[in-house]
Amino acid sequence: MNTATIKTKIDTARPVTAEQADKESVYSTRQLNLWYGNNHALKNIDLEIGENEVTAIIGPSGCGKSTYLKTLNRMVELVPSVKTSGEIQYRGRNIFESSYGVEELRTRVGMVFQKPNPFPKSIYDNIAYGPRIHGIKNKKILDEIVEKSLRGAAIWDEVKDRLNENAYGISGGQQQRICIARTLAIEPDVILMDEPTSALDPISTLKIEELVQELKEQYSIIIVTHNMQQAARISDKTAFFLNGEVIEYDRTDTIFSNPADKRTEDYISGRFG
Amino acid sequence: MRYIEQEKVVRRMNGRMVINRVFQGLFMFATALALLALVILLYRIVSQGAGHLSLDFLTNFASRFPDQAGIKAALVGSIWLMAVVAPTSILLGVGSAIYLEEYAKKGRITSFIQMNISNLAGVPSVVFGLLGLTIFVRALALGNSVLAAGFTMSLLILPVIIVAAQEAIRSVPGELRDASYGMGATKWQTIVRIILPAAIPGILTGSILALSRAIGETAPLIVVGIPVIIQFLPEGVMDTFTALPMQIYDWSSRPQAEFLTVAAAGIIVLMVVLLFMNSIAVFIRNKFDKSY
């Protein structure tokens, strides 16, 4: 594994075919505003996020990209003093509707966090956590879910003989793939990834990136990343956030080769951020 | 232009090293003093009471005659007391801690409650005795029973358990909560499956240390009206009883010099019980200790 492999990755990931451009929207965000207390963190966001695509969100620190991601599954509400206005439609239904339970939403929309955060339990129990909280007790079914999820996250071969070992005993990159497997186990529709490789070494990063490419066949993926090369390598569409606003949102190859806005160009060419 | 002149630094170096040494010595002296007090105490008690320790001492009831006086009623009474105090205080304490940490909205009211819990931990135990006398002994007519004394003791150590449990719950990394909520778990599922298992070592250690305090407390028992001389064992929580510190207090206040040895033997028994409880705490902490 070296830079050569990563480069070929860039080339194969780049082309966006025509039919990907007009896929059905999973998420439609309309006039979303969000405040932490008096801090206006997201301003009039309008975004359509497509099905079975990888959507990357890039931008400098504090631009609101993680906040936006956490709004999509309402994890942002765990912070007290958060206020929102506007709406986010997920599969045609406004997630801020009072009748929409956050638990239901989060069963459909899985999340992978910045720092690998397995539970201090065995690998098996980590993966089985989601199915269990949703009421699956049958050992045989759980076994199947665990294997399927671990295979889905491309880590089955590495851990199949140590399913009963504590998940803290494996490397950070493996832990992150366990966390992805744990998310797959709830059989989500969308996977949100909040800088999933920022705490990992280049080889683990590459594995996760390859995994994202495979996963998008079945899932819609929204990934926040600090790493612009990563966005270019793995995403179909890219949104550039700055100071809580969406500056530009387009197909990834357009954003990186021919950005419409001067600020986008400055950011991706490394002039700030 | 340099702000730090090497010559001056070198000249002042000796002075700095002396001050460094002086403070090191001072702190060592402070530690040694505390240890010395403990050693003297232990030596005095053991040399005085060891002679009176025997199996008879553990199986005899109290007596007018020092050589026949035993600690059976008090030892069994203290165990009964703990059997009431432990479940009551741990259930209430952990429940309050979970509420304050996981459910209560952070605001003025919560911080007011929080402040008062910390204040309660500093209230003298006699005051809790008076509270127990008013509420449990009189108003609820429980009399000077195991239950009344147990509830009083539970109130006394409740603040300590709440604070310890809160700290244990707070030390569970937020990422674990996020992971659980992120998969659609409810608050209750997250508490039962993630937070409590991770917090249990801290909760139990704090609780056992608080229970150790309860087993050595005398003042609330005196105020609640627990008798000293009892020739029978309690058969239920509504019976009256006596406890180790009460018995020791009584022996040490008797005029006959022989009873001082009996008191010392009683203290040895109490200390062994305390040591046993503390070692359980250490054991639990080591066994369940997980690094995140």
- For residue B282 the two structure tokens come to 């250490």
Q: Give the model's pLDDT for residue B191.
A: 96
Two tokens, residue A264: 């986008």
d(CA A169, CA A159) in angstroms, rounded, equals 11
Of B105, B182, B198, the CB nearest to A111: B182
CA distance B91 to chain A (A): 24
Angstrom distance (rounded) from CA A94 to CA A261: 30
Contact state of B181 with A120 under an 8 Å Cβ cutoff? no
Q: Report chain A residues whose CB lies below 8 A from the CB of B181.
A: 75, 78, 106
Best residue in A70, A76, A81, A129 to probe B by mutation, most B CBs within 10 Å?
A129
> Which of A130, A226, A144 minimizes the C-alpha distance to A186?
A130
- A42 closest CA partner among A26, A59, A56: A59
pLDDT for position A19:
42
Per-residue burial over B25-64, b = 16 or more CB atoms within 10 Å of its CB, e = otherwise: eeeeeeeeeeeeeeeeeeeebbebbeebbeeebeebbbee
- Give per-residue pLDDT as tens, B104-162: 988 899 999 999 999 998 899 999 999 999 999 999 989 889 999 999 999 999 999 99
Mean pLDDT (whole number) for B184-192: 95
CA distance linking residue B247 with residue B242, whole number of Å: 7
Nearest chain A Cα distance for residue B210, angstroms: 27
- Residues in contact with B268: Cβ distance below 8 Å, sequence separation at least 6, in sequence order: B45, B46, B49, B50, B53
| A234 DSSP 8-state letter | H
* Joined tokens for residue B233: 């064992």
Contact B53, B268 (CB under 8 A): yes
Helix/strand/coil for A197: coil
C-alpha separations of B238 from A87, A171, B78, B150 in Å: 61, 57, 14, 11
User: What are the distances in angstroms from CA B256 to CA B43, B44, B231, B251?
Assistant: 22, 18, 21, 9
Which tokens is B223 given? 């105020």
Q: Note the pLDDT tens digit of each residue in B219-264.
A: 999 998 888 888 888 888 888 888 999 989 988 888 888 888 899 9
Identify the H or E element spanning A205: helix A202-215
Provide the whole-model pTM: 0.82
* Cα–Cα distance for residue pair B217/B225, rounded to 1 Å: 14
H-helix or E-strand containing A12?
helix A3-13
Query: What residue type is assigned to position B210 of the chain?
Result: A
Residue-level pLDDT at B232? 82
Query: For residue B149, what are its two tokens?
Result: 């004394």
pLDDT at residue number A199: 85
Chain-centre distance for alpha carbon A28: 16
pLDDT over 90 (residue B177) = yes
Strand order in the sheet with A54-58: A109-112, A190-194, A220-224, A54-58, A237-242, A245-251
CB contact under 8 A, B183 and A168: no
Amino acid at A148: K
On chain B, the residues whose CB falls within 8 A of the CB of A111 are 178, 182
Q: In 3D, which of B42, B218, B213, B220 has the Cα closest to residue B128?
A: B220
Q: How far apart are CA B170 and CA B163, in angstroms?
A: 10
How many angstroms separate the CA of residue B192 from the nearest CA in chain A?
11
Contact residues on chain A for B185, CB-CB shorter than 8 A? 103, 129, 133
Give bridge partners of residue A245 from the DSSP assignment: A242
How close, in Å, is residue A88 to chain B by CA atoms? Answer: 18
Measured N-to-C along each axis, helices B146-170 and B72-98 cross at an angle, to the nearest 10 degrees, of 40
Asked if A126 and A182 count as a contact pair (C-beta separation under 8 A), the reply is yes
- Here the tokens at position A127 are 């993966």
Three-state secondary structure string covering chain B: CCCCCHHHHHHHHHHHHHHHHHHHHHHHHHHHHHHHHHHHHHHHHHHHHHHHCCHHHHHCCCCCCHHHCCCHHHHHHHHHHHHHHHHHHHHHHHHHHHHHHHHCCCCHHHHHHHHHHHHHCCCCHHHHHHHHHHHHHHHCCCCCEHHHHHHHHHHHHHHHHHHHHHHHHHCCCHHHHHHHHHCCCCHHHHHHHHHHHHHHHHHHHHHHHHHHHHHHCCHHHHHHCCCCCCCCCCCCCCCECCCHHHHHHHHHCCCCCHHHHHHHHHHHHHHHHHHHHHHHHHHHHHHHCCCC
- What pLDDT is recorded for position A242? 93
CB contact under 8 A, B178 and A113: yes
CB contact under 8 A, B182 and A129: no
pLDDT by position in tens, chain A (length 273): 444 444 444 444 444 444 444 567 899 999 999 999 999 999 999 999 999 999 999 999 889 999 999 999 999 998 888 999 999 999 989 999 988 989 999 999 999 999 999 999 999 999 999 999 999 999 999 999 999 999 999 899 999 999 999 999 999 999 999 999 999 999 999 999 999 998 888 988 998 999 999 999 999 999 999 888 999 999 999 999 999 999 999 999 999 999 999 999 999 888 776
Nearest-angstrom CA–CA distance, B190 and B179:
9
Confidence band of B285 (pLDDT split at 50, 70, 90)? confident
Q: A80: which chain B residues are within 8 Å (Cβ-Cβ)? A: 105-106
Beta bridge mates, A85: A33
Cα B184 to Cα A239: distance, rounded to the nearest angstrom: 27
Helix (H, G, I), strand (E, B) or coil at A165: coil
Q: pLDDT band for B281, please (50, 70, 90 cuts).
A: confident
CA angle, A25 then A26 then A29, to 5°: 80
* A117, A182, A183, best to mutate vs chain B, most B CBs in 10 Å: A117
Tokens of B218: 């005398």
Contact across the interface for A119 and B292, Cβ inside 8 Å = no
Residue A200, phi then psi, degrees to nearest 5 = -115, 160
- Selecting from B175, B189, B198 the residue whose C-beta is nearest the C-beta of A117 gives B175
Q: Which amino acid is at A64?
A: G
Report the 10 Å Cβ neighbour count for B276: 10
Mean pLDDT of B41-67: 85
Between chains, do A117 and B193 touch, taking CB under 8 Å as contact?
no
8 Å CB contact of A119 and B194: yes
ipTM exceeding the 0.90 mark: no
pLDDT at A231: 93
* Mean per-residue pLDDT over chain B, rounded: 90
Beta strands in A185-229 (DSSP E): 190-194, 220-224
Selection from A256, A253, A265, A184 nearest residue A217 by Cα: A184
Q: CA B218 to CA B250: how far, in whole Å?
A: 11
Using CB atoms, pick whichever of B106, B181, B198 lies closest to residue A75. Answer: B181
